[in-house]
Amino acid sequence: MLKLNSHPAGRHFLQIPGPSTVPDRILRAMDYPTIDHRGPEFQALGKKVLADIRKIFQTESPVVIYPGSGTGAWEAALVNTLSPGDAVLMYETGHFATLWKKIADKLGLQSEFIGNDWRRGVDASKIEARLAEDKEHKIKAVCVVHNETSTGVTSDIAAVRRAIDRARHPALLLVDTISGLGSVDYRHDEWGVDVTVSGSQKGLMLPPGISFNAVSQKAIAASRNAKLPKAYWGWDEILESNKNGFWPYTPATNLLYGLSEACDMLLEEGLTNVFARHQRHAAATRAAVEAWGMEVLCQNPAEYSGVLTAVVMPKDASGQHYNADAFRKVVLENFNMSLGQGLSKVSGWVFRIGHLGDFNDLTLMGTLSGVEMGFELAGVPHQKGGVLAAMAHLASTAPGAAKLQKAA
């Protein structure tokens, strides 16, 4: 007789928007003896990953790599560039923008939040207008999230830079692309970003545990006068050690093995191809959502995320949304698949489908099949055919697909 707690057959479908599935190639790279982090073998590794990660950020500037989470990299971006009491302008795009603001407040910064309904991205015109009002340049930094993981909305960072420039304001531009890096196009240098924050567990396909600050020369100059307390997060000692391929403390050696392999995988595929793959899978997912008769949380098609799709649950006769968490539980128990939960303001009525990282057409079809079967089992009203709609999109957009010629 089958035991209720027996291990389910087959692989677990981890379809949350991060941590993403770690591919075997990276797991094998990490499955290697830890080496002396002061020796020449590590030095070669350090120099390689520090050079390769710049290509992923599309920057010529230094990228600081921390043994830490994205939350730590948020703090690092703030403490290295700002002083107690400094004013920072932030934009409410979702749960993670809100958490970043809370960190700023805890550090003694004076944060100002431009409110938003979580269904749209950053409106650069509002940032421009606020900065234009700041004649005394009290605002020292603008902090925005590039790809908001809680909502599936991607903001136009180049537009934010243009807004700052049009306002002729000297504020630093700090950007979180924790879920965007390695999944959707991000250009640290071209978009004039001063500090970019990211992490290992999303598009880079690694386990959680390392995070990043890509830093402009303007940001480095600001760090020399910044007065917020910092020790572990300080850039100065890290950048000095990095010149020779080392760190001033014990780095996450085996995660750096994985990072080296992840960079190889992304660069071998080509970043343009990586971004196109993510957008294609996102479009197929939205085709399924539309066919189910449901709604995507993001309301501006220009801001649809290639990383994830947040789906709004339908309403019952009383006008209440069907419970997204109860639905997710049905999917997990029946199909061994994890879907992302709704966070904070969208908790209970939104679920998230991750389609990022080491992900292909068949992975997407398995994911969407699990969702559609879950609707049926959970009694969630929907129209059938979402999987077929996604399949049709994938078939019509398959790269290099050749049509068979009829026999004469």
Question: Coil, strand, or helix at residue 315?
Answer: strand
Place of tokens 């760190």: 247
Rg (CA), the chain: 22
Residue 365's contacts (CB-CB under 8 Å, 6 or more residues apart) are 387, 390, 391, 394
CA–CA separation, 209 vs 70, rounded Å?
8
Question: Is the N-terminal amide bond of 248 cis, ω within 30° of 0?
Answer: no
11 is in an annotated binding site: no
Q: For 220-277, give the DSSP string.
A: HHHHTT--S--STT-HHHHHHHHTTT--SS---HHHHHHHHHHHHHHHHH-HHHHHHH
What the block records as the tokens of 404 is: 């068979």
CA–CA separation, 131 vs 142, rounded Å?
9
Q: Integer distance in angstroms from the first to the last C-alpha of the chain?
A: 57
Residue 42's contacts (CB-CB under 8 Å, 6 or more residues apart) are 35, 36, 245, 246, 253
Residue 320's contacts (CB-CB under 8 Å, 6 or more residues apart) are none
Amino acid at 226: A
CA–CA separation, 139 vs 104, rounded Å?
13
Please enumerate, by residue number, every residue annotated as part of a binding site for substrate.
352
Binding annotation = 352
